[in-house]
């Protein structure tokens, strides 16, 4: 497996986050995406966002679904974990 996470997470695109797990709080670097999308549902246009973060597998720190992460001063809960095969975990987030 190719691990490019350390290069990307030190490229200037990363943001600081605080991940809280059963073992305590950990400072990690993430790529954060919280852009709005527009979708038409039954003829009605709605806006929504599905915040997500990408971070190094090594920074997972025994995190489990429901753990909290603070990014840009906002608190989120981790919904899931998706390894991408390149050393990253992609986690979808929900607003706490």
- pLDDT score at 86: 84
pLDDT tens digits for range 27-63: 999 999 987 777 787 888 877 778 999 999 988 888 9
The token pair at 76 is 């989120």
Q: Give percent above pLDDT 90 in the chain.
A: 54
- pLDDT score at 3: 58
Please tell me the pTM assigned to this model. 0.80
User: What is the rounded CA–CA span in Å between residue 83 and residue 79?
Assistant: 14
Query: Which domains does the chain possess?
Result: 5-95 (2.40.10)
């Amino acid at each position: 497996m190719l691990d490019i996470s350390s290069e990307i997470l030190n490229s200037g695109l990363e943001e600081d986050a605080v991940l809280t797990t059963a073992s305590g709080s950990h400072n990690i670097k993430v790529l954060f995406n919280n852009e709005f999308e527009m979708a038409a549902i039954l003829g009605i246009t709605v806006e929504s966002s599905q915040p997500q973060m990408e971070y190094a597998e090594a920074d997972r720190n025994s995190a489990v679904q429901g753990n909290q992460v603070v990014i840009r001063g906002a608190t989120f809960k981790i919904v899931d974990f998706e390894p991408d095969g390149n050393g990253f975990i992609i986690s979808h987030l929900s607003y706490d």
